Amino acid sequence: MNKLILFTLFIAAMFILSSFRSDKKKKIIFFGDSITELGVKPNGYIRVIEDMIRNEDKATQYELIGKGIGGNKVYDLYLRMEEDVLKLQPDIVVVYIGVNDIWHKSMMGTGTDYDKFGKFYTALIQKLKAAGAKVIVCTPAVIGERHDNSNPQDGELNHYSNWIRKFAGDNEIPLVDLRSIFLNYSKANNPNNLDSKILTYDRVHLNDEGNKVVATAMWNEIKKLSSNK
């Protein structure tokens, strides 16, 4: 009789523990620059993803945290990764960086050279994965929204984006290819080839439609990654 009671208690305890595990929210950190910093504001892409989660009755499954700082480049993310990301023990980290690495070269004479960008990016992702986080990477979208490669930084944006695409493919990391998504959107919805006011309000930072486009692309990848065992 005692053995039966102990066995019953053991089964009950296992059931309770498994319930706690299944109810634990997946913690997702969005790691980036001013685009991500603005993502936590009303109508920002992180807030839009939260709306999508609620609309799919999954609010109990996810916790979203924005860790964006204006002006950041890839090496800034590497330097603050421990304090801003790893200490929070995220399940998934969405890395959205690269615009300032390119933009600041011509704007302020700073930025990140191509070879150094790849080295810092690789070290960043390796450390996140070593800590047990799943990672999603994003290509930088636009510095100007013309769709004919006439924006001044288009060449470098394509160059750096190609590196991220190859890195993601070689390492089997989910990719949100915002560069391609924005270019295709502009081709379809920007007949006058304007350099802003399509998905951005200033050639770089997202307007409401841009936030929706980014949120949709990221949420699709997050769902796919979350469903993988």
Determine the pLDDT at residue 19. 45
For residue 147, give the nearest of 198, 178, 196, 183 by alpha carbon: 183
Q: Is 10 among the domain residues?
A: no
> 210: phi > 0 → left, psi -120 to 50 → alpha, else beta; which?
alpha
Q: Is 110 among the domain residues?
A: yes
Q: Is 190 among the domain residues?
A: yes
Q: What is the pLDDT of residues 70-107, one digit of tens each?
A: 999 999 999 999 999 999 999 999 999 999 999 988 77
DSSP 25: P
How many domains are there within the chain? 1
Q: Is 116 among the domain residues?
A: yes
The token pair at 122 is 């690789």
Rounded average pLDDT over 56-72: 97
CATH of the domain at 33: 3.40.50.1110
Q: Is the pLDDT of residue 216 over 80?
A: yes
Residue 147 lies in domain: 25-227
Q: Could you give the percent of the chain with pLDDT greater than 90? A: 85
Determine the pLDDT at residue 185. 98
DSSP 90: -
Q: What is the pLDDT of residues 144-171, one digit of tens each?
A: 999 999 999 999 999 999 999 999 999 9
Q: Is 5 among the domain residues?
A: no
Determine the pLDDT at residue 227. 82
Give phi and psi for 114, each to the nearest 5. -55, -50
Q: What is the pLDDT of residues 113-142, one digit of tens each?
A: 999 999 999 999 999 999 999 999 999 999
Mean pLDDT of the chain: 92
- pTM for the predicted model, two decimal places: 0.89
Q: How far apart are CA 113 and CA 111, in angstroms?
A: 7
Q: Is 2 among the domain residues?
A: no
Determine the pLDDT at residue 21. 45
**Cβ distance 99 to 204 under 8 Å?**
yes
Q: Is the pLDDT of residue 50 over 70?
A: yes
Q: Is 134 among the domain residues?
A: yes
Q: Is 13 among the domain residues?
A: no
Number of Cβ within a 10 Å radius of residue 3:
7
Please, what is the angle between helix 45-55 and helix 208-227, to 10°?
Answer: 50
